Structure 1
Amino acid sequence: MTMESIPPANNKLLQTDSAKLKDKNIKPVTKCATSDLNLDIDSKQAIDNATGLLQTIVTDKISAKIIRKIPSDEYLHLLHLLDGIISGSIDKHV
């Protein structure tokens, strides 16, 4: 899965140079605390090139461990497969 960076949508968000993410295809563009109570987590956004959807990646600041991806990688992969099936069946009929 290929991910592409997007510009930050909020002026309060800080640019990040790099992130310690396991998936090498994800390029985070923003770094922000989600709330005053959760100062130990970061939220990063990236666009999935295969589906064109925005994916939010929530990580722990201290360990850089991924807590959650919204939508999940499995969901994005399933959408990509379904898109291939649908476009393949349309191409065969035309």
Structure 2
Amino acid sequence: MQQPGQTFDVHVHLDSEEAFIAFQGVGQLYMYDQWNDVEPGDVLFAPPGIPHGARKAATAGTRPSSSPAAVRPPSTPPCTAPRACPRT
């Protein structure tokens, strides 16, 4: 659950893919160098090595947004400085 103003920093999983599914509220997901508006029913898939993240704007209402994510295969801690991530 993300409250207004919260951000899940842009990061990279070098060897894992991640899928976000928006269930509640509105927010934004980052991928391919841009923030994309999402609403319930939207799905975002981030392949390995692609920077991605999530945020809920402080002005996006008071209802929290819910976009559970699944990572496969289980990931080592993500690299949060994409330009400095080691390449495989």
**TM-score (norm. length: structure 2):** 0.27
Question: Which structure would you say has the larger Rg?
Answer: 1
**TM-score (norm. length: structure 1):** 0.26
Q: As a proportion of its length, which structure holds more strand?
A: 2
Using CA pairs under 8 Å that are at least 6 residues apart, name the structure with larger relative contact order, 1 or 2.
2
Q: As a proportion of its length, which structure holds more helix?
A: 1
